[in-house]
Amino acid sequence: MIKYFIVLLLFFFVSCGSNKSKLSDNNYFNRNYFYNDSLKVGIDFDKNVQFREISFDKEKEFRQLLKSNKLSSKDLFLVAAAKEKGLEMYFFYQNVPSSSVKSNNIKTVISDTVNNTLFLEKQKGKRKVLGLVKTTSAKDNNSSIFVNDLLNKIAIDSLNTRKISFISIFMNNFPDVHPNPLFASKKLESAPIKSVGGEDDKFQFLSTVNASISNNKLYDTLIVGYEKERKEKFNSLIIDLSNKDDVYKDNAVFGKISEIAKENQVIMLNEDHYYPKHRLFAMELLETLKGNGYNYLSLEGFNSKSSEKESTPNYKNGIYTDEPYFAHFIRKAIALGFTVSGHENFDKGIDRELGQAKNVIKILEKDPKAKIFVYVGHSHIEKKNEKKKWLAEYFKELSGINPITINQTVICADTKQDLTLMPCKYFNDTTKVKSSADYFLVNNMKPSLKIIYPNAAFKKAIIRGSKFSDYKNKQVLVEIVDFKEFDLMKNLAIPIESYLMIPKNGTINFELPTGKYHIFIKTEDDEIIYDDDLIVG
């Protein structure tokens, strides 16, 4: 499970335009540390450096300097700024001819007082890094000291593994506004650090970004491995339980939960954060709960501000809503009249679980008869745990209400049914299931827009793009945004679906419900090659 503090992080994103140098494709960032995996160049900058779009707007100004050093914008791999010092920095890379290699470690600095510029070089064998440092103001008169210190921090053929991590790669390449999960996936897969295997950070972040993309072979492979051990453990048991009178399947699951909802004020359901099918079940459950007096939906990691367009889910709501089916879950809740809020604890001075419980209780303080659907990740539903107290246990103690808890994260099995609901008594002793949940759910639902829009007429849509021919053998990311949401929120709008597709004969086609949409098509290099409206029908 991705640690909760990721929800609280402010993402720092380095955008890459279509004019960027190809040398920057393998750039990685972690706060003030930079590394390029292809060039094998690392720079450990001073604090408060800002990395910028890879373009060279000073090319005309320094034409002569570039020419004399046989440089062009194609050699540019990094642009940064130290605003408090009034400095802009441009870094270039060269392979030096063997005949000109005189030393294994050359450092030089050339000062140009007329143009307020320092030009630095650092060479190791045949490989050279050249830097152009421009003073943009009189904020700091010690730019030469800064540059000499910078030279010592440029490392060729050296990676500081303590400075690069999968979490930093995730943060820098999966921003909180209009992310490109295909690009983020590529950066994580090709990261210059080792994965320890299993459910490590690389797996977690790869699964998170790929969960946002349908028809995704990488995601499928990740999940097959993730579920393998549990399926081996539970397959035979679930088959044995299938004929029990108190084991419910498919539509009967909703009938049973309806009975539970009539008699109980709070139901807690958990999810695995990289499972769209878990969000789909939660969405399908909303009507059942609404019919039994539930009017409140409380979500983990969810931000809602009065200044936002609260009637529509958007990227500012939090990292989990980035995934299209989580957004569908929220849309339906709003449409049914639920009051949607977040119970995340942002107070560092209080235990996270206690803070979350108190935030849910605030709903009861305003409306003592409120019936609340609490949706969380993994262990937050635990009412009894030897190692720590979780949200559900704190809530039970403080409110005096025993929430009914349903766990859909622990048990995986190959079943003919989409849904199988079982009481906890079948898992108390013999199976060693580490959960105190009241019910366990096997969820094998298959997310589809036809479930989201059951009454809609679907028709084939064909789009053509001038750049599609460049990607006839490459997958691109097709993001489909409801036009009303796009018109309202622009890049804050979350797609109703995202597909991986390969253009054929300069076209891309797919089925959609009749209506109006806005389509983005993005590449794994983070280029947008299509950005236009589409009417289907």
Per-residue model confidence as pLDDT tens digits over 234-253: 999 999 999 999 999 999 99
- Is the pLDDT assigned to residue 19 strictly greater than 60? no
Confidence tier at 188 by pLDDT (50, 70, 90):
very high
Confidence tier at 56 by pLDDT (50, 70, 90):
confident
Three-class secondary structure assignment of 275-298: CHHHHHHHHHHHHHHHCCCCCEEE
- Is the pLDDT assigned to residue 464 strictly greater than 60? yes
Q: Please determine, looking at this structure, whether the domain spanning 450-536 carries the CATH number 2.60.40.
A: yes
Q: How far is CA 323 from the centre of its chain?
A: 8
- At 141 the pLDDT is 63
Which amino acid type is present at position 179? P
Q: Please determine, looking at this structure, whether the domain spanning 227-447 carries the CATH number 1.10.10.
A: no
Q: Is 157 exposed, middle or buried (0-12, 13-18, 19+ CB in 10 A)?
A: exposed
Q: Which residue has the higher pLDDT, 58 or 195?
A: 195
Return the percentage of the chain with pLDDT > 90, whole number.
70
Go through 263-290 and write b for each residue having 16 or more CB atoms within 10 A of its CB, e for each that does not: ebbbbbbbbbbbbbbbbbbbbbbbebbb
DSSP state of 139: S
> Considering only 34-48, 209-223, 257-271, 425-439, which range has the smallest mean pLDDT?
425-439
**For the chain, where do the domains classified as CATH 3.40.50 start and end?**
227-447
Q: What Rg, from alpha-carbon coordinates, does the chain have?
A: 27
- Is the pLDDT assigned to residue 308 strictly greater than 50? no
- At 13 the pLDDT is 29
Task: Give the predicted TM-score (pTM) of the model.
Answer: 0.86
Per-residue pLDDT reduced to its tens digit, 468-505? 999 988 999 999 999 999 999 999 999 999 999 999 99
- At 138 the pLDDT is 60
- Is the pLDDT assigned to residue 290 strictly greater than 60? yes
- Is the pLDDT assigned to residue 310 strictly greater than 60? no
Contacts of 88 (CB under 8 A, 6+ apart): 58, 79, 80, 81, 133, 134, 136
- At 307 the pLDDT is 41
- At 399 the pLDDT is 97
- Is the pLDDT assigned to residue 95 strictly greater than 80? yes
Output phi, psi for 240, to 5 deg.
Answer: -65, -30
Bridge partners of 399, per DSSP, are none
- Is the pLDDT assigned to residue 158 strictly greater than 70? yes
**Residues 295, 337 contacting (CB under 8 angstroms):** yes
Return the percentage of the chain with pLDDT > 70, whole number.
92
Q: Which residue has the higher pLDDT, 377 or 20?
A: 377
Per-residue pLDDT reduced to its tens digit, 62-89? 788 788 888 888 899 999 999 888 899 9
What is the distance in angstroms between the CA of the first residue and the CA of the last residue of the chain? Answer: 41
- At 12 the pLDDT is 26
Where do runs of H (alpha helix) occur along 89-245? Answer: 143-153, 166-173, 181-189, 201-210, 217-241
Mean pLDDT estimate for the chain: 89
**Residues 120, 109 contacting (CB under 8 angstroms):** yes
- State mean pLDDT over 377-388: 93
- State mean pLDDT over 441-447: 98
**For the chain, where do the domains classified as CATH 2.60.40 start and end?**
450-536
- State mean pLDDT over 3-10: 36
- State mean pLDDT over 367-386: 96
Q: Is 400 exposed, middle or buried (0-12, 13-18, 19+ CB in 10 A)?
A: exposed
**For the chain, where do the domains classified as CATH 2.60.120 start and end?**
16-156
What fold, for 16-156?
Jelly Rolls (2.60.120)
- Is the pLDDT assigned to residue 14 strictly greater than 60? no
- Is the pLDDT assigned to residue 526 strictly greater than 60? yes
- State mean pLDDT over 280-285: 98
Q: Which residue has the higher pLDDT, 393 or 310?
A: 393
- State mean pLDDT over 204-218: 96
